[in-house]
Chains A and B, each alone.
Chain A
Amino acid sequence: MISQLNSRGVARLMMAPAVILLLGWMLAPLTTTLYFSFKKYLPLRGGDLGWVGFDNYVRFVTSSSFWPSVYTTLIIVGFVLAITVIFGILLALLLDQPMWGQGIVRILVIAPFFVMPTVSGLVWKNMFMDPINGILAHLWRFFGLQPLEWLSQFSMGSIILIVSWQWLPFATLILLTAIQSLDREQLEAAEMDGANTTKRFGYIILPHLSRAITIVILIQTIFLLSIFAEIFVTTAGAFGTKTLTYLIFQRVLESQNIGLGSAGGVYAIILANIVAIFLMRIVGKSLDAKES
């Protein structure tokens, strides 16, 4: 008994550094954000100007840019999720087919995921979407059309396109491994029973993928809520592409208002948690449904 207690104590002691490190890692930035969010902190006016209660919180939500930025964030996340999941499934099905050069094709499909967001933003902006020198402008002119001004007139569409291009490989990768884990005999049996392609997809493949899809949605949402680089290098928040993350950046760095920006950061945490809880529920349900 004593030795058991001791060993448990020792085990806890051994784990303590890791736990403390993790806690510090998470808590230190969170506490400073909370601390600053209750202060009037303006570096250009001499720094800390005292406690202001919930002023920053009120000001942040009542600002005319707040709700548009929340909509923008949700629209970008929603569209990117839809595009990556739908095209991810199609691509995964395609890549699952036996074909010549499969290995190379798979690597090429996954490649965009390893391009840094700033780099892909710049490449899209300067080499594809530029209305005078971009490839797309040349393509439009080749067909006798007036080139589109992507980043100013179709700003949201452009951002969604860039981000989807980046995240499609991730969805494809997860969904492809899920498809590969599907029992081939099941499919063959269904085929023998006379189920056509659509039915096999709808009744066997899609239900089999549901768990992978929820994982894709969950992980992507977490990352997509905080996309920043793609917007920073392409539209710099202009043309209605100001997401919540970008708004916070503007408050902290361009307006040099640390308190207001921190309050925005706390809102972003709350928003992310609402979305996460919501998604967790769905994932939990779909996992439960699987087991019953």
Chain B
Amino acid sequence: MRLTKLISSAVLALSLTASVTYAGGHATTLTIATVNNGDMIRMQGLTDDFTAKTGHKVEWVTLEENVLRQRVTTDITTKGGAFDIMTIGMYETPIWGANGWLVPLDDLSADYNVGDLLPAMAGGLSHDGTLYAAPFYGESSMVMYRTDLMEKAGLEMPDAPSWNFIAKAARAMTDRDNDINGICLRGKAGWGEGGAFITAMSNSFGARWFDEDWNAQFDTREWSDTLNFYYNMMTDAGPAGFATNGFNENLSLFQQGKCGMWIDATVAASFVTNPNDSTVADSVGFALAPDNGMGVRSNWLWAWALAIPAGTQKEDAAKEFIEWATSNGYIELVAANEGWANVPPGARTSLYENPNYKDIPFAKMTLDSILSADPLNSTVDPSPYVGIQFAAIPEFAGIATDVSQEFSAAYAGQQSIDEALEKAQAITNDAMEAAGYR
């Protein structure tokens, strides 16, 4: 009796092992780290299509932007190998690519048509001419505004507004009794959150992070102008608690009809015009990010892209996934399921030539914004770094997070703008000295 039991359980165990091996020969499970933005959540919903086509399974690790950056950076520097595909941006890709931490994407299939990627995106995701990450979507930033509120205020938004006009309109649209804030902008600490916004804004005020000898520039009048302008406008016309608002918080405020204007990523256009999520979907207009007549606009350039860490065992399957997720086929899949307005924008030239996409109200403004952003000449005065809302050096993320925390504390009224700038100056020079720049 006992023996039969033993034998039968052994047989069972054997057959289990056999079936596992069998499955292993065919399917791979990819672990993908990504950010919790709307387009990525949509991609997760469509994973079944990928599994049906290739047989590979996908496990998602979805994180908030700041946390994602820490997780993937730690994983790549320690060669942790926790992820087969990482969602990274224009800041990380050239630095990591230069260190040899990413698998070069130079052998993608002919169907994929690498030449179709927007040159601004492909350029920002390459190092020495080699593509290291494939853009899932690309973005710049622009003004999104409520056409009805603008009309009520008796104003008309130009295609290319100035900061003075934006401030005037914001104050005119504000209606505290009805819970309407003239303008919603990012104030949340974190270099990719409020830090990115204020840096892009400062460019149009003639400010820069570093002079040509890598000295911090927060003691300049330009930075003080930027922060004072931002702070005064937000105090008069911004939402309560703006010092803790990032992209997602502002998106939700705008969708609830609580913002007159919002200057943020161009990808948000599809969320604020989607009637399923947005209560103001039919009254949103778009304009270029404002400037100050100094020749530089305040829009940034960014791409969320998929990259494969060097050393993964599943390189082939990972490449299959990247080709699936960033291809024209995926764009068509989303279009078929959710309409053309919801496809991931800003990555491929052909999308903007597609007659189905041309009618989308924000398509042209998105493309114009992307094309007007120049990471190589982002500041009025010359600067030694590449990047618009960031400086593409490894130390920047740490420094800018510290600096943006000082700014957020000033937005919340815990310290004055001057104190914040003074601390920012000290923090930046400390860190640049430690890194050996000065």
Q: Which A residues form the contact surface with B (CB < 8 A)? A: 42-46, 59, 62-65, 131-132, 146-147, 149, 151-153, 155, 236-240, 242, 250-251, 253-257, 260
Contact = CB atoms under 8 A, between A and B. Distances in A.
B104 to A, nearest CB: 19
Nearest to A131: B241
Contacts of A146: 240
A256 B77 contact: yes
Interface stretch (B203-211, B358-366, B397-405): B397-405
Contact of B189 (A64, A131, A238, A257): A238
A236 B66 contact: yes
Contact of B408 (A46, A147, A152): A152
A253 B408 contact: no
A138 to B, nearest CB: 14
Contact of B412 (A147, A153, A237, A255): A153
Interface in B306-330: none
Contact of B244 (A59, A147, A151): A151
Contact of B401 (A62, A131, A155, A254): A254
Nearest to A151: B244
B90 interface: no
Given A43-B78, A44-B99, A257-B434, A242 B405 contact: yes
Contacts of B435: 42, 45
A240 B241 CA distance: 16
Interface of B: 66, 70, 73-74, 77-78, 95, 99, 189-190, 240-241, 243-244, 394-395, 397-399, 401-402, 405, 408-409, 411-414, 423, 426-427, 430-431, 434-435
Nearest to B423: A64
B402 A250 contact: yes
30 contacts: A42-B394, A44-B95, A44-B395, A46-B99, A62-B430, A64-B423, A65-B402, A132-B241, A149-B243, A151-B244, A152-B241, A153-B412, A155-B412, A236-B190, A237-B189, A237-B405, A238-B409, A239-B243, A239-B405, A239-B409, A250-B398, A250-B402, A254-B401, A255-B395, A255-B399, A256-B77, A256-B394, A257-B398, A257-B434, A260-B434
Given A59-B434, A254-B398, A236 B427 contact: no
A153 B240 contact: no
Given A236-B189, A242-B405, A63 B430 contact: yes
Contact of B414 (A63, A131, A239, A255): A239
A238 B240 contact: no
Nearest to B191: A254
Contacts of B241: 131-132, 149, 152
A217 B355 CA distance: 71
A247 to B, nearest CB: 10
B415 to A, nearest CB: 8
Contacts of B70: 253-254
A64 B430 contact: yes
A143 B427 CA distance: 43
Nearest to B405: A238
A238 B412 CA distance: 10
Given A65-B402, A238-B409, 11 more contacts: A42-B394, A42-B435, A44-B77, A44-B395, A64-B426, A64-B430, A236-B189, A239-B405, A239-B408, A250-B402, A253-B74
Nearest to B258: A132
Given A44-B99, A236-B66, A149 B244 contact: yes
A152 B245 CA distance: 11
A236 B431 CA distance: 20
